[in-house]
């Protein structure tokens, strides 16, 4: 017979994971990482790497707290938030610098019998592999920072059931991964549409992303320092 309370708890975990993935600093970071490399697959790759890093941190925290009984000091979460704020600001300025150097271009080509399509290229060496690892690392920091560990662990701490707690964390992390994959796919579609419609709009969007990333990083640092 199904345990209705357990099903409701795990459904809540998945739903909270979906919502948690859409936090402003998460969206800003993934958008900034993805904006320098076009393509549906790469956008999904950055999003999934970030989400996997986030999930790995939560699962490790779950093992430490629910199984071993170790208490995670809140200072670690605050330090991670501060690091993320600094990284957001640095990434935003890096994107602005990249835009000013005009290193990324879009060219449209027509081949016989095929519709117009875009070719993306950069005048610097491809660093996408490095950025993939960066997305994994940043996702891990995000898993440690802020409300994510508390959001995931508090509802199950009362039960004192490690297996239930780990299932909760697993469903929470799955919600984060699903939401990020959907966002990454949507971001790629919007970017490619803007590229076809107007290159100036695409450049303007990248400037907006850069400035928003810097602003969110500054706000995050301010909240931690208060």
> pLDDT by residue (tens digit) across 130-174?
555 778 888 888 887 755 555 556 666 556 677 888 888 889 889
Task: Find, among 78, 72, 76, 65, the residue nearest to 156 by Cα.
Answer: 65
Residue 146: which region, alpha, beta or left (left: phi > 0; alpha: psi -120 to 50)? left
pLDDT of 215 over the 90 cut:
yes
Assess if residue 19 is contained within a domain. yes
Are 23 and 219 in contact by the 8 Å Cβ rule? The answer is no
d(C-alpha 155, C-alpha 8), whole Å:
12
Does residue 113 lie in a domain region? no
Q: Is 125 helix (H, G, I), strand (E, B) or coil?
A: coil
- Going by C-alpha positions, the residue among 143, 222, 209 that lies closest to residue 176 is 143
Query: Considering the domain boundaries, does residue 121 fall inside one?
Result: no
**Quick check: is 191 in a domain?**
yes
- Whole-number percent of the chain with pLDDT over 90: 11
Residue 7 has pLDDT above 70, yes or no: yes
pLDDT, position 116: 47
For the residues 181-194, what does the mean pLDDT come to? 84
In a domain, 122, yes or no: no
Residue-averaged pLDDT of the chain: 77
Tokens 């929470």 -> residue: 172
First to last CA, the chain: 50
* Residue 197 domain boundaries: 4-101+127-225
In a domain, 94, yes or no: yes
State yes or no: pLDDT of 128 exceeds 80: no
- Residue of higher predicted confidence among 213 and 224: 213
The Cβ of residue 97 has, within 10 Å, a number of other Cβ atoms equal to: 11
Q: What is the pLDDT of residue 104?
A: 47
Q: How many domains does the chain have?
A: 1
For residue range 55-105, what is the model confidence (pLDDT) as tens digits? Answer: 888 888 888 877 787 777 777 778 888 888 898 898 889 888 877 775 445
**pLDDT recorded at residue 177:** 92
- What's the pLDDT score for residue 155? 65
Please report whether residue 119 resides in a domain.
no
156 falls within a domain: yes
Radius of gyration of the chain (CA): 20
């Amino acid at each position: 017979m199904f345990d209705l309370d357990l099903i409701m708890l795990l459904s809540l975990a998945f739903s909270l994971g979906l919502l948690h993935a859409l936090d402003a600093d998460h969206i800003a970071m993934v958008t900034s990482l993805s904006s320098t490399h076009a393509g549906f697959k790469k956008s999904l790759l950055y999003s999934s790497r970030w989400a996997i890093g986030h999930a790995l941190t939560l699962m490790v925290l779950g093992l430490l707290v629910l199984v071993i009984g170790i208490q995670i000091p809140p200072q670690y979460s605050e330090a991670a938030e501060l690091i993320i704020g600094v990284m957001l600001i640095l990434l935003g300025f890096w994107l602005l610098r990249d835009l000013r150097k005009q290193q990324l271009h879009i060219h449209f080509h027509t081949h016989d019998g095929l519709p117009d399509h875009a070719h993306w290229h950069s005048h610097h060496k491809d660093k996408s592999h490095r950025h993939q690892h960066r997305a994994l690392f940043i996702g891990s920091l995000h898993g440690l920072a802020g409300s994510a560990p508390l959001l995931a662990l508090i509802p199950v701490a009362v039960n004192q059931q490690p297996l239930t707690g780990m299932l909760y964390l697993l469903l929470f992390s799955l919600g984060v991964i699903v939401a990020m994959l959907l966002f990454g796919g949507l971001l790629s579609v919007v970017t490619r549409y803007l590229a076809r419609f107007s290159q100036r709009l695409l450049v303007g969007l990248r400037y907006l992303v850069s400035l928003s990333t810097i602003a969110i990083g500054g706000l995050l640092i301010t909240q931690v320092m208060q």
